[in-house]
Amino acid sequence: MLKKIFPLLTTCLLSACITSPTGRTQFAIMPDDQINQMGLQAFDSLKKEKPVSSNGQYNRVANCIAGAITREIGGGNWEIVVFEDKSPNAFALPGNKIGIHTGMITLVDNQDQLAAVIGHEVGHVLAKHSNERASQEMAVNGGMAIVQAVGAPQSALGQTAFGLLGVGAQYGILMPYSRVQESEADVIGVDLMAKAGFDPRQSINLWQKMEQASQGQQPIEFMSTHPSHATRIQSLEQHMPQAVTIFQQAQAAGKQPHCS
């Protein structure tokens, strides 16, 4: 293993390191356009395989919340799709794609909790976690096959590619984000929702709610790929004073979304 990891570290030292939004050093060797293309292909595959919801209210709520959040990162052309699926799940992919299951919309109590979900997922994209994971996979196992494999999601390698992008659970491949990546997405997500005028304190209520729901007979897919621990809520509570300050500033500036 050390023989495989050493070249990865050497490459990082030479020039393949980037800095995340929280200041963390990351190993990322894939060009952004390449990882974005993987995200686009994966999202297209999901739209072909999963029914898209025609519920007008669900689509309005999802687009309203996601639109408010993505405007805080410069906007851009984000595609938001609500999938007709009772499992509480949501994801964001490189290439500005956001997917939300109807089950997640019906599970949350308010717009702020759904904003916490979307903010967290967009946080993974902003921090380039898919690039980080795919780069590590390529450095250890070599080859570019993982890039092409996303076009064949039913294949074993294709499922691995989907897992690296964070949507592998759709194909039975669970590849959870690391503790560091999860914490990073939490911080970025609560700050994003706060900047958009959503109450960041609801993020703690959300994770508590998800934790309780996952203890039922059917484990929640979202929790299987985004493990929740007591340390997550503790970290959010520690960061909350800063996020609440951002929220109050946003509210004072007139950012008071009414999406639900």
Radius of gyration from C-alpha coordinates of the chain:
18
pTM: 0.85
Mean pLDDT confidence for 202-210: 91
Q: Does 12 fall in a domain? A: no
Using one digit for the tens of pLDDT, what is the confidence trace for 50-66?
Answer: 999 999 999 999 999 99
Residue 19: predicted pLDDT: 85
% of the chain with per-residue pLDDT over 70: 78
Contacts of 97 (CB under 8 A, 6+ apart): 39, 40, 43, 78, 79, 81
Q: Does 260 fall in a domain? A: no
Q: Is 121 a catalytic residue?
A: yes
Contacts of 59 (CB under 8 A, 6+ apart): 53, 82
Contacts of 14 (CB under 8 A, 6+ apart): none
Specify whether the CB–CB gap between 197 and 104 falls below 8 A: no
Range of the domain at 90: 31-252
Q: Does 13 fall in a domain? A: no
Q: Does 159 fall in a domain? A: yes
Q: How far is CA 232 from CA 119, 161, 239, in A?
A: 15, 27, 11
Mean pLDDT confidence for 58-79: 94
Specify whether the CB–CB gap between 260 and 111 falls below 8 A: yes
Q: Does 238 fall in a domain? A: yes
Contacts of 123 (CB under 8 A, 6+ apart): 184, 185, 186, 187, 188, 189, 192
Residue 169: predicted pLDDT: 60
Hey, what are 229's tokens? 């621990």
pLDDT at 220 exceeding the cut of 70 = no
Residue at 219: amino acid letter: P
Q: Does 257 fall in a domain? A: no
Domain count for the chain, please give it. Answer: 1
Q: Does 1 fall in a domain? A: no
Q: Are strands 97-101 and 79-83 parallel, antiparallel or unpaired?
A: parallel
Q: Does 14 fall in a domain? A: no
CA distance 186 to 91: 14
Residue 191: predicted pLDDT: 98
Catalytic residue among 72, 84, 121, 182: 121
pLDDT at 172 exceeding the cut of 60 = no
Confidence bin at 5 (pLDDT 50/70/90): very low
